[in-house]
């Protein structure tokens, strides 16, 4: 959902910049920390890209991929689930995955969410099924964010689609 605050366009998707870390008394292992960069990106689902990224203030801040209801949605890269729910108006059932200290991906309009907050996921792991929660057609709305700024996901996803 796009709103206006004193003439500046803002997006309702929150900017996650940190995740609570274990206390210093708990040993932090490599499996519980974020890498410096995303090792690889994979397509989050099969289907047809029906809307692409737009740089305009009111444009699409990601890509929309249409397929049949129930189609598997996968994590586009390794990371930690930092949001899983339906409390953000305009996104339906939403999953947000943090991949590095600066990169996030968001998966909106899901039918069923399979992962929970604080779950660590691998690139290609099933996280949800495609649906139409919060929208008028069955599709995945997929976003990539760097330091909270929306980026064109097609710049990161492999050229070959599933």
Q: Of 65, 66, 62, 77, which is closest to residue 125 (Cα–Cα)?
A: 77
pTM assigned to the model: 0.81
pLDDT of residue 32: 65
pLDDT > 50? residue 29: no
Please give the angle made by the CA atoms of 26, 16 and 37, to the nearest 5 degrees.
75
pLDDT of residue 57: 85
80 or 3: whose pLDDT is higher?
80
pLDDT of residue 31: 55
d(CA 95, CA 119): 11
């Amino acid at each position: 959902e796009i709103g206006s605050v004193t003439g500046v366009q803002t997006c309702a998707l929150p900017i996650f910049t940190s995740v609570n870390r274990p206390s210093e008394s708990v040993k932090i292992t490599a499996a519980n920390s974020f890498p410096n960069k995303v090792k690889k990106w994979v397509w989050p689902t099969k289907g047809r890209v029906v809307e692409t990224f737009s740089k305009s203030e009111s444009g699409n801040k990601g890509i929309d991929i249409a397929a049949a209801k129930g189609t598997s949605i996968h994590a586009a890269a390794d990371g930690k689930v930092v949001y899983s729910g339906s409390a953000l108006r305009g996104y339906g059932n939403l999953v947000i995955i943090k991949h590095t200290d600066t990169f996030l991906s968001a998966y909106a309009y899901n039918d069923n969410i399979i992962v929970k907050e604080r779950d660590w996921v691998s690139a290609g792991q099933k996280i949800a099924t495609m649906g139409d929660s919060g929208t008028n057609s069955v599709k995945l709305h997929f976003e990539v964010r760097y330091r909270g700024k929306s980026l064109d996901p097609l710049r990161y996803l492999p050229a070959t689609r599933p």
